[in-house]
Structure 1
Amino acid sequence: MELRYSPFDFTVHEDPYPFYARLREEAPVYHNEKDGFWALSRHADVLAAFRDDRRFSSRNGIRIEEPFWGPQAEQFFSFVAMDPPKHTRMRGLVNKAFTPRRIAALEPRLLEIARAHLEPLLEGEEFDLIDFAAKYPTDVISELVGVPESDREQVREISFAVMHAPEEGDGQMHEGSTDAMGALIGYYAQLTAERARRPQDDLLSGLLQVSENEDRLTPEEVIGVLVLLIGAGSETTMLLLGNAWHAAWKHPAERERAFAGRIEDWIEETLRYDPVSQSSPRTTTEDVELHGVTIPAGEKVLLLSGAANRDPRAFPDPDRFDLDRDTGGHLAFGNGRHHCLGAPLARLEARLALTELAATVADYEIDEAAAKRVHTSINRGFVSLPTRVTARR
């Protein structure tokens, strides 16, 4: 059978891993001429490309759908769609406000948010995990940023429309997604102007105040960071929680160990076994030769971290879900200069949420026939995960 891989193919979304296995063995440098991209699938190659930002540029962004891909990507993805020296400046300034201390200080409040969203769902025997997983991380970002509680439902609705408006299956985003993006930018512009007049103890005020010598982030740059946080922060944590819940259900022995206290191992093995971010796009700045194939300069290249995380060269018996595995080499958060800045926050959110679930739920069943997957070119996970639970007595 002819090898055909496309990140827009809904069949791939259902189970990409057989496709990845063939790519790694038959075409480690794969070219899809119709969709206009190349793909790297072996762990060593993906890792090397993540670290080689000189030849593999991020300037065109992290989503290959229109209108997000291209020179305008900065307005959607801030410093993630930049190369040095612009990336170095922006990430350095953001780092000064987005500190480990600020994240750690949020833990008690994040636990309150998780419990507030979980408790009404767990009063019955059935709920959709994504009803929790979609609201919780969006409210966490709002708490971090300083969005007033009275506005948080509005921000959740707009954010969900940005992230999950239907796609056409051919690389085109639905009109509703771009409209919602405009509404989100408008809301954050108003909030940024308000914080510039009256600073508070929140990330938004911190971003407006940080400086390097005389250099500061402009209000437009701050708004870009906030939009990035919603997309890269809220969506990925939502999908991570769903993937962890689904993986543990499919592997009862590992679920029992996870519920017995192996929460962090559960998270890390999920990040390796079924990562949210399946690929990261780059643009070649010069001809790149690999495995006897030349990728020309100026080409779109997908770094398939989902394939790399199942590469048997890096992870023995990679299709097995195993909490005892050494997951230190997984690429779920990327690597190199663009390693995910929000990884500590995502891990904290997941740990708090899954710990609460494990403390309340003795066992559960997922209605897989009714579950619905997200359909994007880069992310993998669920937008609906109906669950029947057995409560702890």
Structure 2
Amino acid sequence: MDLLYSPYDFGVQDDPYPVYARLREEAPVYRNDADDIWVLSRHADIADALRDTARFSSRNGLRIEPAFWGPQAERFFSFVAMDPPKHTRMRSLVSRAFTQRRVQALEPRLRELALGHLAPALDGESFDLMGDFAARFPTDVISELVGVPEGDRALVRDLGMAIMYRDEAATGPVTDLPPEALQAIGALVGYYTELTIARSKSRTDDLLSGLLDAAEGEDRLTPEEIVGVLILLVGAGIETTMLLLGNAWHAAWKHPDQRAAALGGRIDDWVNETLRYDPPSQTVARTATEDVELHGVTIPAGGRVLLAVGSGNRDERVFPAADRFDLDRDTSASLAFGGGRHHCLGANLGRLEARVAFQELTAVVADYEIDEAAAKRVHSTNDRGFESLPTRITARR
């Protein structure tokens, strides 16, 4: 059978791992002419490319859909779609506001938010992990972090969901954003612009105030740059955490021996192995700035390079028995949060959210069963996870 890989293919999105295995062995530098991409699938090659910002640029963004790819990528990805020195300046200023102290101080409030969503969801024998909890909790966490007033959070949640979910009832794979998502982005930009103006007149103890105050000498973030960071948080801070929660829930259910350990309290191991085994972010794009020769293949300057992180995390050269979900595994080499100067700035927040969520879930749930026939996956060129995970629970006595 011919080796065919496209990030737009719904079949690949539903289960990319068999194709990844063939890519690693048969075509570690794979060319797809129709999608105009070069794909790297081995852990070492992906890790090297993530560190090598000189030859693998982020200037055109992280996703290959026409709406995202190109000079306009900064509108969606802020400093993540920049190279030095622009990236260095922006990340440094954002880091002054997005501190570990600010993240850790959120934990008590995160627990309140988790309990607030779980109490009604678990008031019975069944619930939808995604719709009833995983889609709501991270959205409210980001709103809490940013400083969105409680009265506006339903609006922000609805706009975020319109951006993240795409209508797949139409024929064929989705290769661009639908009008509804573009309208939601515009509305969210408008909302965050107004909130930034209001906060500039009256500070509070939140990330938005921190971004307004962040400075290096006379250099400060402009209001437009701040709004760009807030838009980035919709995908980087909400969608990935939402999908991580679902992927962890599903992976543990599929592996009963590991589920027992996870529900027994090994939360950090559960989260870390999920990030390795089935990461929410499967691919990240780069632009080759010069001809790059790898495994006897030349990627030309200007080539669009897709780094298949999900494949790298299943590379047997780094993770023995990589297709096994194993909470005892050393996951320190995982590529789930990227690498190099673009290592995810929100990694600590994402881990904290997942830890709090599963601590509160396992305090109530002794075991569970997923109705896989009714489960529904999201379809995306770079993200992997579920839109719906109907679950029947056995409550702790």
TM-score w.r.t. structure 2 length? 0.98
The one-letter code sitting in structure 2 at the alignment partner of 1:166 is D
Task: Give the drift of 1:171.
Answer: 1.6
How far apart are residue 260 of structure 1 and its match?
1.1
Counterpart of 1:176 in structure 2 is 180
Contact 1:73/1:81 (<8 A) preserved: yes
Mapping of residues 187-266 of structure 1, within 5 Å: 187-266=191-270
Counterpart selection for 2:313 from 293, 297, 309: 309
> 1:280 is aligned with what amino acid?
V
Supply the distance in 2 between the matched residues of 1:324 and 1:291 (Cα, whole angstroms). 33
2:159 corresponds to which residue?
Answer: 158
TM-fit CA distance, 1:308: 0.3
1:98 aligns with 2:102: no
Deviations 1:262-319 (A, max 9, x none): 1000000000000011011000000000000000000100011100000000000000
Residue 291 (structure 2) aligned to one of 287, 290, 296:
287
Q: CA deviation at 1:68?
A: 1.1
Cα deviation, residue 66, structure 1: 2.2
User: CA contact under 8 A between 1:166 and 1:173: conserved in structure 2?
Assistant: no
* Partner residue in 2 for 1:329: 333
SS of corresponding position for 2:394 = strand
Secondary structure of 2:93's match?
A: helix
AA partner of residue 17 (structure 1): Y
2:47 corresponds to 1:47: yes
| Residues in 1 aligned to 2:88 and 2:153: alpha-carbon distance in whole angstroms | 32
Aligned-residue offset at 1:165 = 2.4
**Which residue of structure 2 lines up, in the alignment, with residue 148 of structure 1?**
149
Deviation at 1:170, TM superposition (A): 4.5
- Read off the aligned partner of 1:354 and give its amino acid letter: F
Partner of 2:348: 344
Counterpart of 2:378, as a letter, is V
Where does residue 392 of structure 1 map in the other structure? Answer: 396
SS across alignment from 2:374: coil
Q: Does 1:83 align with 2:83?
A: yes
Aligned positions, number: 393
Q: Can you list the C-alpha shifts for 1:147-202, whole angstroms capped at 9, x where unaligned?
A: 00000011000000011122661522211111111111011001000001111111
- Whether the 8 Å contact between 1:158 and 1:183 is mirrored in structure 2 is yes
Q: Deviations over 1:335-374 (max 9, x none)?
A: 0110100000000000000111111001111011111111
Structure 1 residue aligned with 2:5: 5
Tell whether 2:362 aligns with 1:361.
no
Matching residue's letter, 1:5: Y
CA distance in 2, matches of 1:170, 1:142: 29
Q: What letter is aligned with 2:14?
A: E
Structure 1: how far apart are the matches of 2:119 and 2:66?
39
TM-score, normalization by structure 1: 0.99
> 1:65 offset after TM fit, Å?
1.2
**Structure 1 runs not aligned, ≥5 long:** none
Letter in 2 for 1:179: Q
Give matches, 1:3-152, under 5 Å: 3-131=3-131, 132-152=133-153
| Aligned residue number for residue 377 of structure 1 | 381
C-alpha separation between the residues in 2 aligned to 1:262 and 1:290?
Answer: 40
One-letter code aligned to 1:164? Y
SS at match of 1:369: helix
Contact 2:61 2:80 in 1 (8 A): yes
4+ runs deviating over 2 angstroms: 165-168
CA distance in 2, matches of 1:382, 1:177: 19
Shift of 1:75: 1.1
Distance 2:33 2:152 in 1: 45
Q: Is the 8 A contact 2:61 2:77 kept in 1?
A: yes
Q: RMSD value over aligned CA atoms?
A: 0.7
Query: Contact 1:267 / 1:350 at 8 angstroms: preserved in 2?
Result: yes
- State the distance in 2 between where 1:89 and 1:374 align: 35
